[in-house]
Structure 1
């Protein structure tokens, strides 16, 4: 299976938990015999869309075209990011806006919506400071719902599974190793 790992942590000045989680997932995927590609959003010169016209008709930047090619190549995507202000960091959101444009992920033809990413699956891995159950049940997980339903789901990606990792500032080495082991297992299964 072809797996695309999207590292959505916007800070590349030092390794973070998101980087370690992505690496554990990649190790498992390699052990499972899967082909891998990676996109590290923090390494790209991301630009922001500023109008609906630019989104619909503008020329995507080179990195968005490369992302589109990688997404089409992939059977499964793993997207990892820290929860910031209830959702994905702005840099990752801008990457999705540039890369998942109308015409690429979907188009309307003869009054019908054609979803171009059908047959692909995804795993979201999201780290946060609060308890994940609090984010899920009290807040209703708005940031991951947006990505699961309105971005990936709307494009036809199914299933979109998620792993929410809360209380990361209190993560002990034993709990971290258990988490990395779980990520390796998910990578092996391409899940």
Structure 2
């Protein structure tokens, strides 16, 4: 699965990330400013480490010794942010199909109809983005991420900003993604109860270092 040992430095902050992820779902917890989002951005390719390596399924994504830094669009990693990022000029169906069209048919892991059923998106398909609640938009964001057929799904505080009712609606869908797709997931959050619900293994990020 995921193996990394890299260092990223910005200003006076240093992230030393040493990780061998064997679990299907790994949770990362830590206080604000500990480097959780920075870790995910390095993995997906939004940031570049100064040294070290990142490998996914034995495929090198970054390796400073070999001067390799694979572009983000080739890493096959999907990142779900705190706030759903959707194309506002498209309806839900178009947002989902856009992700599917970008994936070669031979590389598709999930079928459109299966994802729509898994996340119960059928009633939302014709809605525009501005007509969605926060919870609905995040479900669409998860669906679009899955339809990009990633090898790894990163979730950066995906329930932040949602009230308790909406969180209780989204967590079962995330659990469905875990149990029915078997897709490896790295889940960053401040809230231990989310990871407990999903029965995730947990690591802690403190002052830029991962600890068990």
TM-score where L is the length of structure 1? 0.34
Q: Kindly indicate which of the two structures has a greater share of residues assigned to helix.
A: 1
TM-score where L is the length of structure 2? 0.32
